[in-house]
């Protein structure tokens, strides 16, 4: 030990408890150590790899980890430290004198393992570690220290890991502190980054100790306990973000659909979607919620049950969650805003209108001035504007309140139409979709949509087929709203007839025929179509469909073409 700046030889086996405590104190005061600590480091490394006393191995690991943080390197090979770590994790933890400063019994060992795995300039020992018994022992010891509320698994019984019995569900912070939990998860992230298929094999195994542990670490009960533990609030964001990183791996890999279904089912059973939303609302600062929200969005867009869990969680705590969502939507994190807009748009697309009131409230704001919506429609990021228009398109299929706002709120309709001339094609596509749905059964809003006709007509020549199709459908919806004269002024019937007969995309042709069927109900448009010889042009199109090889499938537009020809006959004139 250090005595007046000199190293005194110590009989490491003489007093386990005193040695443990002295080593831990020494680790906390490394800034006072003189230079030339290589000899001490070598002795401690030998103690770590050769001692059979678990408390000494753990104390030695703690000191080695601290020395490593000060820049000291150790020539430890996997064949040495893997058996030592396995022994330390497998044997009973007899903690009579806990490490100082709130450290857990296993913290030092876990921090050292993380350093050994991530040392630069050395061959990666990760493959050696994950193929050894230590990897399995580590996760079972970790779960036992956390006191997961699960029955002991068969694997755990086979490992014969012993631990003092306790009826308490609170983690044993004397064994592993919040810092140790964070180190373990960082160790897992480093491991799975190098061996992603290993992560998949663990997560896809129903009821695996890894999956059970990760889900427990996101549970409200554990996060509450973590926040109340010494230094727990400091490490809580690290724990949550590490868990989210690990759970994101299956979505980043080329995963077999059957395996992904199993992983989703496991996460759904534990209501991970709800837990992620609660974590973001109650535990994380706004700059750190991007990853959890991204994971939540992936789950909700992939799995209907997860989507329902999201909506039910909002309904259970509407004030706090809507407040969080409002702040997140209007923050300065475009990726976070885009993910939330995708989540809300999917909710509006899939669920019934009765579930959508909270989305309406988010867009309207507390004073119903629609300031949030105005801000999103004018956002500098193309992706945010595009997804905002997409969300509006789905809401306008159902929301009379939103249609009314477009009519009554000054300038709001102009913002909706502004997207039709946006330079970004994704924005033009989403805005044309939104305007088309605004025109569908527009009611009192119909006359105000006359301003959309010139913009929509211009989009009929857009190079993007999806935009042309949306524009065609929107114009078809505007005819029954009493805008026949405006449509004629922009020569819409002529343009749609040209597209029905000659657009290179079959789905655009079909949309044009459907739109013409709707517009011909207006007497003035019917007359124009007759004067244009629409029946003869469409007959040629129909003949072309009939001349296709017998083995070729008939386009879906063929029936619309025949029906429109029938409707344009004199007996059907209005």
User: Which residues sit opposite 2 in a β-bridge?
Assistant: 7
Confidence (pTM): 0.86
Q: Could you give the dihedral angle defined by the CA atoms of residues 526, 529, 533 and 536, in that order, rounded to the nearest 10 degrees?
A: -80
Looking at residue 396, what is its pLDDT? Answer: 92
Instruction: Name 201's Cβ contacts closer than 8 Å, sequence gap at least 6.
Output: none
Determine the Cα angle at 185 with ends 263 and 159, to 5°. 75
Contact assessment for residue 479 and residue 512, using Cβ atoms and an 8 Å cutoff: no
What confidence tier does 441 reach under pLDDT thresholds 50, 70, 90? confident
Token couple for 243: 């868990």
| Spatial distance between the Cα atoms of 510 and 506, rounded to a whole number of angstroms | 6
Rounded to an integer, the average pLDDT of 79-108 is 80
Contact assessment for residue 130 and residue 198, using Cβ atoms and an 8 Å cutoff: yes
| Spatial distance between the Cα atoms of 545 and 541, rounded to a whole number of angstroms | 6
| Spatial distance between the Cα atoms of 92 and 94, rounded to a whole number of angstroms | 6
Contact assessment for residue 1 and residue 10, using Cβ atoms and an 8 Å cutoff: yes
| Spatial distance between the Cα atoms of 508 and 516, rounded to a whole number of angstroms | 12
Contact assessment for residue 30 and residue 67, using Cβ atoms and an 8 Å cutoff: yes
With 80 as the cut, is the pLDDT of residue 10 above it?
no
Look up residue 418 and give its DSSP letter: H
Looking at residue 342, what is its pLDDT? Answer: 97
What confidence tier does 8 reach under pLDDT thresholds 50, 70, 90? very low
With 50 as the cut, is the pLDDT of residue 302 above it?
yes
With 50 as the cut, is the pLDDT of residue 154 above it?
no
Contact assessment for residue 454 and residue 496, using Cβ atoms and an 8 Å cutoff: no
Looking at per-residue confidence, does 128 or 548 come out higher?
128
| Spatial distance between the Cα atoms of 122 and 124, rounded to a whole number of angstroms | 6
With 80 as the cut, is the pLDDT of residue 143 above it?
yes
With 80 as the cut, is the pLDDT of residue 46 above it?
yes
| Spatial distance between the Cα atoms of 174 and 188, rounded to a whole number of angstroms | 22
Length of the chain: 574
Neighbours of 483 (CB within 10 A): 24
Rounded to an integer, the average pLDDT of 425-435 is 97
Looking at residue 9, what is its pLDDT? Answer: 45
With 90 as the cut, is the pLDDT of residue 300 above it?
yes
Q: What is the largest CA-CA distance in the chain?
A: 113
Looking at residue 158, what is its pLDDT? Answer: 47
With 70 as the cut, is the pLDDT of residue 370 above it?
yes
Q: Which of 195-204, 298-307, 398-407, 478-487 has the highest mean pLDDT?
A: 298-307
Percent of the chain with pLDDT over 70: 84
| Helical (H) or strand (E) element with 92 | none
Q: Mean pLDDT, the chain, as a whole number? A: 84
223: phi then psi, degrees, rounded to nearest 5: -65, -35
| Spatial distance between the Cα atoms of 110 and 112, rounded to a whole number of angstroms | 5
Which of helix, strand or coil describes residue 386? helix
Rounded to an integer, the average pLDDT of 203-224 is 89
Instruction: Find the range with the poorest average confidence among 43-57, 95-109, 174-188, 282-296.
Output: 95-109
Percent of the chain with pLDDT over 90: 47
């Amino acid at each position: 030990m250090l005595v007046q700046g000199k190293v005194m030889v110590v009989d490491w086996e003489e007093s386990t408890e005193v040695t443990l405590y002295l080593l831990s104190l020494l680790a906390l005061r490394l800034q006072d150590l003189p230079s030339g600590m290589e000899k001490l480091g070598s002795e401690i490394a030998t103690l770590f790899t050769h001692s059979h006393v678990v408390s000494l191995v753990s104390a030695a690991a703690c000191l080695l980890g601290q020395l490593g943080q000060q820049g000291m390197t150790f020539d430890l090979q996997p064949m040495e430290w893997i058996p030592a770590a396995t022994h330390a994790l497998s044997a009973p933890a007899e903690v009579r004198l806990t490490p100082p400063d709130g450290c857990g019994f296993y913290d030092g060992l876990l921090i050292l393992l993380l350093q050994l795995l991530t040392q630069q300039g050395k061959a990666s020992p990760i493959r050696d570690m994950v193929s050894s018994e230590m990897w399995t022992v580590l996760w079972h010891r970790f779960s036992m220290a956390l006191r997961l509320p699960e029955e002991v698994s068969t694997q755990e019984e086979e490992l014969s890991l012993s631990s003092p019995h306790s009826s308490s569900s609170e983690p044993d912070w004397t064994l592993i502190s919040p810092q140790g939990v964070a180190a373990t998860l960082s160790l897992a992230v480093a491991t799975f980054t190098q061996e992603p298929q290993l992560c998949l094999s663990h997560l896809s195994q129903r009821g695996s100790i890894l999956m059970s542990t990760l889900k427990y670490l996101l549970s409200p009960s554990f996060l509450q306990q973590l926040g109340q533990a010494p230094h727990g609030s400091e490490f809580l964001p690290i724990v949550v973000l590490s868990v989210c990183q690990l759970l994101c791996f299956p979505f980043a890999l080329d995963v077999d659909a059957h395996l992904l279904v199993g992983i989703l089912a496991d996460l759904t059973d534990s209501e991970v979607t709800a837990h992620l939303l609660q974590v973001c609302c109650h535990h994380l600062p706004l700059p750190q919620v991007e990853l959890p929200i991204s994971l939540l969005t992936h789950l909700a867009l992939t799995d209907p049950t997860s989507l329902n869990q999201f909506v039910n969680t909002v309904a259970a705590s509407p004030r706090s969650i809507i407040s969080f969502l409002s702040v997140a939507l209007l923050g300065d994190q475009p990726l976070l805003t885009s993910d939330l807009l995708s989540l809300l748009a999917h909710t509006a697309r899939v669920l019934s209108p009765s579930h959508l009131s909270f989305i309406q409230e988010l867009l309207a704001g507390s004073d119903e001035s629609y300031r949030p919506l105005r801000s999103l429609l004018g956002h500098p990021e193309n992706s945010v504007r595009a997804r905002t228009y997409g969300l509006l398109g789905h809401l306008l299929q159902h929301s009379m309140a939103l249609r009314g706002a477009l009519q009554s709120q000054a300038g709001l309709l102009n913002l909706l139409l502004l997207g039709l001339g946006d330079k970004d094609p994704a924005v033009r596509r989403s805005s044309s979709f939104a305007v088309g749905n605004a025109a569908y059964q527009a009611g009192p809003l119909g006359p105000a949509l006359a301003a959309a006709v010139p913009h929509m007509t211009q989009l009929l020549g857009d190079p993007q087929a999806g935009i042309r199709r949306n524009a065609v459908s929107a114009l078809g919806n505007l005819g029954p709203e009493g805008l026949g004269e405006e449509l004629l002024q922009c020569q819409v019937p002529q343009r749609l007839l040209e597209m029905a007969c000659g657009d290179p995309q079959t789905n655009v042709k079909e949309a044009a025929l459907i739109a013409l069927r709707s517009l011909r109900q207006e007497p003035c448009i019917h007359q124009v179509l007759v004067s244009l010889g629409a029946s003869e042009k469409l007959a040629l199109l129909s003949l072309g469909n009939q001349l296709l090889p017998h083995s070729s499938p008939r386009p879906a537009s063929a029936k619309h073409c025949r029906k429109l020809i029938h409707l344009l006959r004199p007996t059907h004139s209005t």
